[in-house]
Structure 1
Amino acid sequence: MSLFIGLDVGTQSVKLVAYDPQLRQVVASHGRPLELIAGDDGSREQHAEWWLAAIRACFAQLDPAQRQQVAAIGVSGQQHGFVPLDRNGAVLAPAKLWCDTSTSVECGEIMAAVGGVQRCIELAGNPILAGYTASKLPWTRKHRPDAYAQLATILLPHDYVNFWLTGERWMEYGDASGSGWLDVRTRRWSPELLAATDPDRDLGQLLPPLVEADASFAIAPAIADELGLPRHVRVAAGGGDNMMAAIGTGNVAAGLLSMSLGTSGTLFAHADRPVVDDAAGWAAFCSSTGGWLPLICTMNCTVATENVARLFGFDSRDGDAVMAGTAPGAGGLVMLPFFNGERTPDLPHARGGLFGMDLGNLTRGNTYRAAMEGATYSLRNGYDALRAAGLGFEAIRLTGGGSKSAAWRQMVADVFGLPVDVPEQAEGAAFGAALQALWAHGRAGGSRQDIAAIAREHVRISPALSARPDPDAVTAYDEGYRRFLSHLDAVRRWYEKPGLGAGDPGLGSA
């Protein structure tokens, strides 16, 4: 009997699931929280060692007998992070994360150097948006010159965990496409974008080899011994958390829309060809299955509801009860939940705002609902771009921490007007990483089974968690969504320029 481990190295925690494919069951699940270093300049960082300490702790919680049954490991990681290594493989500085907006000036500099936003899309399929890896390198050159001078390898968060597990350095196409340097059409690094990012050195020499999604590598013997694992364990290519969540929700074929309600919010779909938007309405990423993954990402999702819960002194797990008695529209409250700045819409300098307050509606229930509605409307705003491009979907597969909320599941069904289903495995990214490990392990042993067949066999829906649109609520949310868009249009001009944001005297009334 073999077990397949999925590790999800997220922003808030590291999660481990152990999956038994014969029983079709997750036999163990463990997690460890992570700290976040947040700066007033928009910086969001973590020490890479924190990820490894959390992984060690998760494996320590796994029964020793189960550890001896592990056959392969797949790693899911938060996208866009920047882990700088020296020539000996030592980390040179804290890892700047996907939600770091301190490098937004560098985004503009890179795109200007290459000839503008449209030229950037022509070269790679995507502009360089706030949080993408590319902008973090010139920021490091300016603000951490010692780390820049010693820089020998650029890794993404999941790449670094793979490097620790195996001693090998590689990237796969899905996560690499979130760096900003990969031409998603050709699956090759763009020499022009690399040169625009740093004209003084060849960044291609700092990037590890690109590997296929079904690749795998042997675990390092010392790490196997440290974690109590067999030395024959394979480590799969892994991928970004959204790419792994696509696998974990069964979104490996056309016609299905996956939504992840985590710290960030994401919408993504499978495509068998590059799906590039000239207006950059979505991210044109590769998948971690050999295909492509058009993706909408908002930088503020459960971070909004959790901040409100913290403000009012309750746990977000009790949020559904707190919302009881409130109605769609939150009594007229509208929240723009841009606590981390925002990517969709592209407003990295934005801040959160609460509007429509009066003497009767400012309750904790309405405020919490406004946060949940605002996060959902932000995703709907991105979804409208997909629909405008002619893409259509019949159902939504929901994952992430927010999917545990019955109120949020119903809200998504009503706001989008689509049926919502939730896979039995709520941790879609970790479970997807386990399924990718199962796929890669089989390929290494000579199996030709494809990932779509594995997903059909192992991703199961939980009927009790499904939600269907309520016509009356759909109408109410349509009105609420229009109010949200009107407030968004009104504040957009405040935040479109780098000089505006928190502390700007012109925003005192916001």
Structure 2
Amino acid sequence: MAFTAGIDAGTQSLKVVLYDATARQVVATASEPLELTSSEDGSREQHPSAWVAAMHTCFARLDAGLRARVVALAVSGQQHGFVPADTEGNVLAPAKLWCDTSTTAECAQIMDAVGGAQRTIELAGNPILAGYTASKLPWTKTHRPEAYARLASILLPHDYLNFVLTGQRFCEYGDASGTGWLDVRTRTWSKDLLRATDPDRDLADCLPPIAAPDALFPIDPAIAAQLGLSPTVQVAVGGGDNMMAAIGTGCVEEGRLAMSLGTSGTLFAYSDTPVVDPQGAWAAFCSSTGGWLPLICTMNCTVATEQVAKLFGFSTRDGDAHLDATPPGADGLTMLPFLNGERTPDLPHGKGVLAGLDPTNFSPAHLYRAAMEGATYSLKYGYDAFVRAGMRFERIVLTGGGSHSAAWRQLVADVFGLPVDVPAQAEGAAFGAALQALWASARANGDDASIADIARTHVALDPARSATPDPARAAAYANAYQRFLHYLDAVAPLQRG
């Protein structure tokens, strides 16, 4: 029996899953943690060699007999990162990541060069926000001039792993739309924005060709041997982690709403047509399946709960007990969890804020609840923009590390007033990559099944982890959310400088 593999290179770890489509089950998984280098200027970096080493480690942990049965694989990667490479594909500097806010000034410089944020949206469908790839180029030109002078290829994290696997440089529409340069309406690079990023050179020469969503590339036999894979393995195009999570949660048809609770928080919905907001209230991304994926991103989600748990010396695995011991609204304690700056709301210089402390709520349990509530309210803030634009949804499909928490699942149901479902396969991005590989491989063999057909067949829900809104708690959270918005309005002017 043949398997497909999904590789997810995230911020905190790299994961590999092997999927048996015939049995409809994941047959093996492996994970390896990744280190993040942080600096006071907002820099957040990793060296791409760490991703490659983690990939080797993960495959080495899998049974050799299972690895030998893999026929196709795909890579999911954290969006917006910048891997500078020379003509030979050698990495010239550490990769600046999605959560890197050191290039905030460069975002404004690029947009000002074309006439401001409004004009940028007209050109590409999105403003250039903190963390987007485009802003990392002028920063590198200033701070790492030697690397910039040798720059021959602009690769995203998942593009780089595809290069390692195949020896070929290519990208795909979903991840490319997170650079800030892709006009999502036409799926073409914006010459104006590329010129605004660097008027002294044609950055288009550094961008890899964009591959079709169902394209396949042969694996490099040498890397196949190192990973214990067959030299006949085919590599699908993969995509950004949110795009792959969309596949892994079945969010490949209109009317579906998915939420990922990871280091960052995301909320996304599939569309057959571009969904651009004139004010840039959401990211107007392309999907990795031929459509579009309007998306809300917050930069502080599980990072906030993990920081509180670490501070008080307990594990997030024990966090639900703290939620159970405290009431909705945390007895008036409110956290704006903007520890890494924030994208939604758009506060790249934002800092975390605790408000409403008093002797009754100054406890580890209350602070943990406030962190979880604050991360959820930030997503609700973005969801409200979807609703104002006329989007309507009946359910939320939840994925990411936070989805393992029964308390968080119930919190989401109560705050959003929608039933919550959780896929049986917890690793949404890695599983989605395995399904994309399955789809591309099937099409290459003459099967005309759509990606929606694949998702309907293989994305199963776990009814034991579903949650439905509780009216009493929902009312309490509605009041607490208004308090969150009140503090946000008060603090935002101080954090926009």
Provide TM-score, normalisation by structure 1. Answer: 0.97
Q: Partner of 1:408 in structure 2?
A: 408
Q: Partner of 1:501 in structure 2?
A: none
Q: Partner of 1:506 in structure 2?
A: none
Q: Partner of 2:77 in structure 1?
A: 77
Measure the CA separation in 2 of the matches of 1:464 and 1:431: 20
Q: Partner of 1:234 in structure 2?
A: 234
Q: Partner of 1:364 in structure 2?
A: 364
Post-superposition offset of 1:170: 0.3
In the alignment, does 2:457 pair up with 1:457? yes
Q: Partner of 2:213 in structure 1?
A: 213
Post-superposition offset of 1:322: 2.6
Letter in 2 for 1:258: A
Measure the CA separation in 2 of the matches of 1:19 and 1:348: 39
Q: Partner of 2:133 in structure 1?
A: 133
Measure the CA separation in 2 of the matches of 1:48 and 1:205: 22
Measure the CA separation in 1 of the matches of 2:228 and 2:467: 42
Q: Partner of 2:38 in structure 1?
A: 38
Q: Partner of 1:162 in structure 2?
A: 162
User: CA offsets per residue over residues 76-114 of structure 1, 9 Å max, x none?
Assistant: 000000000011110000000000000000000000001
Post-superposition offset of 1:249: 0.2
Residue ranges of structure 2 left out of the alignment (5+ in a row): none
Measure the CA separation in 2 of the matches of 1:431 and 1:226: 23
Matches within 5 A, 1:191-340: 191-340=191-340
Letter in 1 for 2:488: L
User: CA offsets per residue over residues 28-74 of structure 1, 9 Å max, x none?
Assistant: 11100000000000100000000001000000001000011001111
Measure the CA separation in 2 of the matches of 1:477 and 1:204: 48
User: CA offsets per residue over residues 131-181 of structure 1, 9 Å max, x none?
Assistant: 000000000000000000000000000000000000000000000000000
Measure the CA separation in 2 of the matches of 1:224 and 1:345: 43
| Secondary structure of the structure 2 residue equivalent to 1:331 | helix
Q: Partner of 1:378 in structure 2?
A: 378
Post-superposition offset of 1:296: 0.2
User: CA offsets per residue over residues 358-403 of structure 1, 9 Å max, x none?
Assistant: 1121111110000000000000000000000000000000000000
Letter in 1 for 2:13: S
Post-superposition offset of 1:448: 1.2
| Secondary structure of the structure 2 residue equivalent to 1:376 | helix
Letter in 2 for 1:11: T
Q: Partner of 2:388 in structure 1?
A: 388
Letter in 2 for 1:477: Y
Residue ranges of structure 1 left out of the alignment (5+ in a row): 498-510
Measure the CA separation in 2 of the matches of 1:404 and 1:143: 41
Q: Partner of 1:502 in structure 2?
A: none
Matches within 5 A, 1:134-153: 134-153=134-153
Post-superposition offset of 1:445: 1.8
Letter in 1 for 2:481: Y
Q: Partner of 1:92 in structure 2?
A: 92
Letter in 2 for 1:176: A
Measure the CA separation in 2 of the matches of 1:399 and 1:355: 29
User: CA offsets per residue over residues 256-293 of structure 1, 9 Å max, x none?
Assistant: 11000000000000000000000111000000010000
Q: Partner of 1:484 in structure 2?
A: 484
Q: Partner of 2:61 in structure 1?
A: 61
Measure the CA separation in 1 of the matches of 2:461 and 2:153: 41
Letter in 2 for 1:90: N
Measure the CA separation in 1 of the matches of 2:74 and 2:344: 29
Letter in 2 for 1:291: G
Letter in 2 for 1:372: M
| Secondary structure of the structure 2 residue equivalent to 1:424 | coil
**Could you tell me the percent identity over the aligned residues?**
68
Letter in 2 for 1:297: C
Provide TM-score, normalisation by structure 2. Answer: 1.00
User: CA offsets per residue over residues 187-245 of structure 1, 9 Å max, x none?
Assistant: 00000000000000000000000011111100000001111110100000000000000
Q: Partner of 2:4 in structure 1?
A: 4
User: CA offsets per residue over residues 475-495 of structure 1, 9 Å max, x none?
Assistant: 000000000000000000111
Post-superposition offset of 1:324: 2.4
Post-superposition offset of 1:323: 2.5
Post-superposition offset of 1:446: 2.2
Q: Partner of 1:504 in structure 2?
A: none
Measure the CA separation in 2 of the matches of 1:202 and 1:2: 44
Q: Partner of 2:24 in structure 1?
A: 24
In the alignment, does 2:119 pair up with 1:119? yes
Q: Say how many residue pairs are matched.
A: 497
Letter in 2 for 1:43: S
Q: Partner of 2:440 in structure 1?
A: 440
Measure the CA separation in 2 of the matches of 1:45 and 1:228: 29
Letter in 2 for 1:180: G
Letter in 2 for 1:151: L
Letter in 2 for 1:96: K
Measure the CA separation in 1 of the matches of 2:143 and 2:447: 49
Letter in 2 for 1:281: A
Letter in 1 for 2:207: L
Letter in 2 for 1:394: E
Letter in 2 for 1:135: S
Moved over 2 A (4+): none
Measure the CA separation in 1 of the matches of 2:444 and 2:38: 42
Letter in 2 for 1:403: S
Measure the CA separation in 1 of the matches of 2:29 and 2:319: 24
Letter in 2 for 1:257: L
